[in-house]
Every structure is written in C-alpha cells, then in structure tokens.
C-alpha cells in the first residue's frame, strides 16, 4: 500500500541503534546471555510500550539494552536495523549509539563499537548502505562522565563522524556540555544534539550557539519562537523530526496535530526519521505513512522530505 513511500530513496539521520532492538531479538539475546527478563514473553513486553513522556520510555529503553553484552550482540542489533533500511530504500544512515548505556554496565567501549562498526561496514559492502556513526552522550549524566567517554573514543576516532546529546532533556540544557562539545570539535568531530523535543526553544538556541550543532534532533518546539524559526529557515539548519516518536511520547497528543508539514511549507529543512522504531511502532516508511494518513502529506511533500534527508547528511 505504501510502495511509493518505500520506494523513495532516503537517508535516516535520527536513529538510536539501541532503540531498534525489537522484542523478538531482545528475547533471543536474553536467552543467549542467560538473562532472566521481567516479562514472560514478547507480547507482555510489547504491551509495556505505552508511555506518557520521554522519561517513561527511557526507563524501559535502558532496561531493554541490558541484554546487549557481547560484540556479536551489537553486531546482530545493527545488522537487523540495516536489513530494515534495505527493505525501505534507506540508502544512507547516520545512527547514534550511547556508549555510556553499556560502559556503565561494565561492557567495554571497544566491544560495543566493534560490533556496531563491523555490521555497518558489512552493510556498506553487502547491502550498499553508506553510513556515518554518531557517538551520543547521555545528558542526565555529568560533564565529567561525558569527558571520560570522549577519551574512551579517542583510539577509535575515525569510526565516528560526530558527537550528539540525548536522554532526559528537561533540566539538562545543552550548556551543561559546552566544554565537552568544544573539546570534541577541536578533535574534528561534527556536532548534533537533541533539543526542543520536550525542552523549550531556549535549549535549541543553546544547542546552536554553544554546541555549534549542524542539525537539530527533533526541534519541534522551535515553532513557539518566531525569531528562532527565522534563523532556522535563513540558515537552513536541518531538523531530524520523528513523528511516531513524538506522538508515542505525547509531545503531540495526536498525529493530526504534528507540525512537520507546517514547518516544511514555511521552508524549514525538516526530515523524517524513526528515532527508536522498535518502541514507537515503525521505521522510516511507517513514519512517512503516518504523515500521509493523518496529515494528508502529498507525494510532492514526501519527495521534498526525502530529498531533505539526503541533503542534510553530514557525510
């Protein structure tokens, strides 16, 4: 039914690899690693996917990530995501991963990175999907811990194109990580950050002015600040918007209230992404389909959104 949306060549610019962990794989990895789960089966886990806000989701997302232990686990996770990309004509992806979610559980940085990177390299060779990997800091943790993570990444500098910032937004403004991002930029990393998902427009200003980001992840609350909107339009700063995520996390009560097409028509460089597809009900094509079903997105608008994603690549 959505073959025309599936067929559009597109890039995905906002995807957390840990958020692509489907319940079936989660259970398989739990069995492989002999981990007892608090859910009886896949259906019980899926029925827990009802969230009132970002934090409720994050609590489950970090709990789910605990089944990822070995290099092979991270490879399998990433490979499963790349298969979805192939099926949906995502020809380029710039995924995030959160090293601290794993190093804080005692999994060495290099175990995580090697598994992910090997799958991405195989994806290039075998599936023709190009990539740029983004190391994302957890903003609910301290500046010092982010510096430590940047240090752990140093021997693998070439594996990354950028650093990012995710996790609980409220109370953790971009300014908290200004010095970490300064250091990262001095080492040649590009920068992106989640801002204006649940947080106010001020956080987007900080991300632009203090973290010097190339793209805004989410950014949907920019619409509350006209001066900010003008800047984003004038400078053509891309927004990586995640419609299904925004409705599942109650950023918008209903998809019919989502502002992505309004932004598109105002000249904002918005893109469509899946964020955490295993938890939010779909990959990129399902996100496009939701815009068609609920907002009446036209074929021409879909083409512009897909083209924006290709134009907004960092590599």
Q: Is 292 marked as a binding-site residue? A: no
The entry of Zn ion, ligand ADE, none near residue 51 (CB within 5 to 8 angstroms by kind) is none
Site map 158..197 versus ligand ADE, x via CB under 6 A? --------xx--------------------------x--x
193 beta partners: 216
Percentages helix, strand, coil for the chain (3-state, rounded to 5) are: 55, 15, 30
Nearer to Zn ion, 57 or 181 (CB): 57
Catalytic residue chosen out of the listed positions 197, 198, 206, 286: 197
The entry of ligand ADE, Zn ion, none near residue 73 (CB within 5 to 8 angstroms by kind) is none
Across the chain, the runs of DSSP E, i.e. the strands, are 10-12, 90-93, 96-97, 130-131, 133-138, 160-166, 190-195, 215-218, 239-241, 270-272
Q: Which of the residues 1 through 20 are near ligand ADE (CB under 6 A)? A: 16, 19
Helices marked H in 126-225 — which ranges? 143-153, 178-186, 201-209
Nearer to Zn ion, 92 or 248 (CB): 248
Give the footprint of Zn ion on this chain (CB under 5 A): 275
Nearer to ligand ADE, 76 or 276 (CB): 276
Active site residue 43: no
Q: Is 275 marked as a binding-site residue? A: yes
b/e sequence 240-271, b meaning 16+ C-beta within 10 Å = bbbbbbbbbbebbeebeebbbbebbeeebbbb
Nearer to ligand ADE, 3 or 253 (CB): 253
Residue 208 C-beta-side C-alpha neighbours within 13 Å: 18
* Residue ranges in contact with ligand ADE by CB under 6 A: 16, 19, 54, 61, 166-167, 194, 197, 245, 275-276
- Feature table: binding site for Zn(2+): 14, 16, 194, 275
């Amino acid at each position: 039914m959505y073959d025309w949306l599936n067929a559009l060549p597109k890039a995905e610019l906002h995807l957390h690899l840990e958020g692509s962990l489907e319940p079936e794989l989660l259970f398989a990895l739990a069995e492989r690693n002999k981990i007892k789960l608090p859910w009886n089966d896949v259906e019980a886990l899926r029925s827990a996917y009802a969230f009132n806000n970002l934090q409720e989701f994050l609590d489950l997302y970090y709990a789910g990530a605990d089944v990822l232990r070995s290099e092979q686990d991270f490879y399998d996770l990433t490979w499963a995501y790349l298969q979805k990309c192939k099926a949906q004509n995502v020809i380029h992806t710039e995924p995030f991963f959160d090293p601290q979610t794993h190093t804080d559980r005692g999994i060495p940085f290099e175990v995580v990175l090697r598994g992910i990177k090997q799958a991405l390299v195989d994806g290039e060779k075998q599936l023709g999907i190009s990539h740029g990997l983004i190391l994302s800091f957890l903003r609910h943790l301290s500046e010092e811990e982010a510096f430590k993570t940047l240090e752990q990444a140093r021997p693998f500098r070439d594996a990354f194109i950028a650093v990012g910032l995710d996790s609980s937004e409220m109370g953790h403004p971009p300014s908290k990580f200004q010095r970490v991002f300064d250091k990262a930029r001095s080492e040649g990393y590009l920068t992106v950050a989640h801002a204006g998902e649940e947080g106010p427009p001020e956080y987007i200003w900080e991300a632009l002015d203090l973290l010097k980001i190339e793209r805004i992840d989410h950014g949907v609350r920019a619409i509350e600040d006209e001066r900010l909107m003008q800047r984003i339009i004038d400078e053509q700063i891309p927004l990586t918007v995640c419609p299904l995520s925004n409705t599942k996390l109650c950023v918008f009560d209903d998809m019919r209230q989502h502002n992505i097409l309004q932004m598109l028509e105002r000249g904002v460089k918005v893109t469509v992404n899946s964020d955490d597809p295993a938890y939010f009900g779909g990959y990129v094509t399902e996100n496009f389909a939701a815009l068609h079903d609920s907002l009446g997105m036209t074929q021409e608008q879909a083409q512009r959104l897909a083209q924006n994603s290709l134009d907004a690549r960092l590599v």
